[in-house]
Amino acid sequence: MLVVAPPRDAPAVGSLSAMELSEHARANRDAWNGRAHEDVPLAERQWGTDQVSWGIWNVPETQVNVLPDVAGRDVVELGCGTAYVSAWLARRGARPVGIDVSENQLATARAMQARHGSSSSFITPARRPCRCPATAPTS
Ligand SMILES: C[S@@+](CC[C@H](N)C(=O)[O-])C[C@H]1O[C@@H](n2cnc3c(N)ncnc32)[C@H](O)[C@@H]1O
């Protein structure tokens, strides 16, 4: 899920408070950690291209035009996984923060970031599971 904040002058400053994970949140994290290796080939493909595409059908952004102009915008990618969407946004001038509960997904994200020489550090462990709002602003 992407949340694109309205333009503003000052950078966001904040932190997530540490908390114990519930049993189901731990199970969710462990499941994502356990299958993280399956996402490595996708991460390698997607980090290696600038062609934005969406979802399991890989629908090209050029067909659907859903991505607003993100240059100069603050963007949070909740459940960023290997963070290739955040990488695409950073290359388009956004200031993304990718948050994920799975350390193993984030390890792949950091490896990709190192390989592709991205200077910005936008990958963050979620100290508590993200709860998606019923509706999320996109602009
Ligand atoms: C299908 S992957 C999506 C990765 C990427 N955003 C994409 O579009 O390809 C879902 C990611 O969400 C993370 N995730 C699942 N539940 C979460 C939660 N409650 N809080 C934070 N991250 C979560 C998983 O670890 C996984 O990396």
Return the ligand 1 atom nearest residue 128 CA: 20
Domain total of the chain = 1
What secondary structure does DSSP assign to 37-85, as a single string? GGGHHHHHHHHT----EETTTTEEHHHH------TT-EEEEET-TT-HH
Instruction: Kindly give the distance from the C-alpha atom of residue 133 to the centroid of ligand 1, in angstroms, as a whole number.
Output: 15
Return the ligand 1 atom nearest residue 131 CA: 19
Q: What is the DSSP letter of 12?
A: P
Instruction: Kindly give the distance from the C-alpha atom of residue 35 to the centroid of ligand 1, in angstroms, as a whole number.
Output: 12
Residue 109 inside a domain? The answer is yes
- The residue nearest atom 23 of ligand 1, judged by CA position, is 79
d(C-alpha 136, C-alpha 56), whole Å: 21
Residue 99 inside a domain? The answer is yes
Percent with pLDDT over 70 in the chain? 71
Return the ligand 1 atom nearest residue 77 CA: 6
Residue 83 inside a domain? The answer is yes
Residue 100 inside a domain? The answer is yes
**What residues contact residue 15 under an 8 Å CB cut-off, 6+ apart?**
none
Residue 28 inside a domain? The answer is yes
Residue 39 inside a domain? The answer is yes
CATH number at residue 73: 3.40.50.150
pLDDT in tens, 67-106: 999 999 999 999 999 999 999 999 999 999 999 999 999 9
- The residue nearest atom 11 of ligand 1, judged by CA position, is 79
Q: Which residues approach ligand 1 with their CB closer than 6 A? A: 28, 32, 77, 79-81, 85, 100-102, 105, 126, 129-130
Give mean pLDDT, residues 52-74.
95
CA-based end-to-end distance of the chain: 13
For the chain, give the mean pLDDT. 82
CA atoms within 13 A on the CB side of 130: 21
